Every structure is written in structure tokens, then in C-alpha cells.
Amino acid sequence: MALDTRGVLAIIAGLLMIAALVAARTERRLLGTWIMMAAFGVASLYSILSIFWAQSNPSVLSPKLWITMASMAAAATVYYGYMGLWGEGIGE
């Protein structure tokens, strides 16, 4: 079984989120914020690809719900980006 692009993006996003939480727990909260921003950026890409994938393949979620997921991931990317710009780490 081969992984497609969406599967690889999902794994990368999950690993980045875990790395962000580990960084936040080891007193590198600002680094954790930037890593979390990158994780949600990858999650946004995953959701955008899923919108197009769901239009031509059977999917549990409809394309409209994938659009909602993509917008939430994009909003989280902007949120953590602004936190990083203002120097606020996760959990501060």
C-alpha cells in the first residue's frame, strides 16, 4: 500500500504538532508556536487537496465540509503566526 500526497501531508502535520507540543513542554514555547504554525499550514494544504479529491472520489466528508476544515486550519495558521510575531509562546 503506497501513500499518496494527502497521506504524507497528514503524517507531516501530525509529527509537527507533536514536535510543537514537545517543544512547548521543554520551555521552548516560542519555538513550539512557530512549529505549530507550520503544522497547521501543512494541515491547510491537506484540507485543500481533500476538497478536490472529494469531488471525484468517495469521501466521508463532502467538499463543503472539507472547505470548512481548510478554513479552520488556515485560521489556526494565522493565529499561531501572530502569536509567534508577538513573541508569545504556547501556554504563556
pLDDT of 78 higher than 80? yes
What's the average model confidence in pLDDT over 54-65?
88
Alpha carbons 61 and 55: distance in angstroms, whole number: 10
Please give the angle made by the CA atoms of 66, 13 and 6, to the nearest 5 degrees: 50
- pLDDT the model gives residue 1: 55
Q: Is 88 left (phi over 0), alpha (psi -120 to 50) or beta?
A: beta
- pLDDT the model gives residue 59: 84
Mean pLDDT for the chain?
92
- pTM over 0.75, yes/no: yes
- For 22-48, letters b (16+ CB in 10 Å) and e give ebbeeebbbbbbbbbbbbbbbbbbbbb
pLDDT of 4 higher than 80? yes
Q: Where are the domains of the chain?
A: 5-85
Task: Tell me the Cα Rg of the chain.
Answer: 15
